Amino acid sequence: MQNRRWSTVAFLTLLVAPVLFLAWNSHEPGNGLLSMIYFGERFEQRQLPEVQAIAPPAISALGYDGQFYAQMAIDPSLQHPGMRRSIDSVFWRGRRIGLSAIAYTLGLGQPRWILQVYALLNFAFWIGLLTLLLNRFDLHKLKTKLMVAAILLSSGTLISIERALIDLPALFFSLLPVLCSMSWAGAALLFAFSILTKETAALSAPAVLWVYRTPYTRLLRTALVIGLIPLCWYIYVLQISGLPKSQTATNLLLPFEAFIAKFGAAGLHLQAFISTGRPRLDALSQALFELLAPVSFLVQAAYFFVRYSLRDKYWLFGIGFALLFCLLGAPIWFEQAGYTRILLPLTAAFNLLIHQREHHRAYLGWWITGNLGMFGMLIYIVIQIGLLIF
């Protein structure tokens, strides 16, 4: 018993270490964790006046998506006169108001506090998801340790934390009503909020509807709440922003069209990278995982078709994302920072499903093949820690 306790403590220490490193590595005196929002130099002149007054550090020329959601948090009503200029697409970004609304509320409407809170929120949701899994499963078991590590240390999770994005919070809100017993109204509201955080969470709605399926009147009420709340907000955003230009034409293609192209390009890139001589270890690792990650996603998606079950909540949670995997277009497959986040619910559902169904060698076989490519960001962090130490 004592050995099991110490092994659990050691596991939790190793689990938390990469996340603490991300916080430590991003902290700057005077700026706190603002660098995690990834503001871009090209957008500095378009920032809201409240953000320009804070002068957050610019990480790169273009920055990343978090800079737009953070600015939406300054005024989640999206009525700020500078919002259209500062956000690259008010309609596409504005639909995802959930995390911005939380940052505004916790930041008490004060811009400097709002940005700091926004940068910290992914850490809070990581802890929340860890707590949720620990309450639901026995961490003393090796199977559970492997499942928790696969979900909380996957590239999708760590990139969401590193760049203060919406993917991990959306996963938390959508998993909560599936893993916890609660009233149908609470579950419906939570899931509706997960869709307001990121609209692709709607692909997991069948899991919630299955959990709260009887009686049929409750099923109907649950479905209406889940659907109508985001719909009303989308209509509101549409009135503010006007009709958007289509940005999804190449995000979805014929089944496996972009995946095959990605797999071939990643293989050629890795081969060329190795042939150059002695490449940097972190760059070599990134090139390798650009090849391994799509293969692991293929295994995860295949499991949902090979071991289908229309009455399993975890299967229902992930099957929509397994189908999405087949249709993703070339822009999504460009780099791990994109597709590992979008398919994060698939990774979570896959690991919950095999934890429930598979045992012994079968479990290890599925876990290894389905998760081998999911630790690219973790390996990068380990390499960075090693370079600091040695």
Instruction: Kindly report the backbone phi and psi dihedral angles of residue 296, in degrees, each rounded to the nearest multiple of 5, phi listed first.
Output: -65, -40
Task: List the beta bridge partners of residue 58.
Answer: 39
**What's the whole-number average pLDDT of the chain?**
92
- Give Cα 285 distance to the centre of its chain: 21
pLDDT for 273 equals: 66
- Residue 212 and residue 218 in contact, taking contact as beta carbons nearer than 8 Å: yes
* pLDDT over 90 (residue 160): yes
357-368: average pLDDT: 96
Around 122, how many Cα atoms within 13 Å sit in the side-chain half-sphere? 27
* pLDDT over 70 (residue 250): no
Residue 363 region by backbone torsions, left for phi larger than 0, else alpha for psi between -120 and 50, else beta: alpha
Q: Which residues contact 21 (CB under 8 A, 6 or more apart)?
A: 381, 384, 385
- Residue 205 and residue 191 in contact, taking contact as beta carbons nearer than 8 Å: yes
Lowest mean pLDDT across 39-43, 320-324, 329-333? 329-333
The SS3 assignment for 62 reads coil
Distance separating the N- and C-terminal Cα atoms of the chain = 36
Predicted confidence (pLDDT) per residue in 163-220, tens digit: 999 999 999 999 999 999 899 999 999 999 999 999 999 999 999 999 998 888 999 9
Q: Which of 205, 168, 208 is nearest to 187 (CA)?
A: 208
Predicted confidence (pLDDT) per residue in 77-131, tens digit: 999 999 999 999 899 999 999 999 999 999 999 999 999 999 999 999 999 999 9
Predicted confidence (pLDDT) per residue in 270-310, tens digit: 777 677 666 677 777 888 888 999 999 999 999 999 998 88
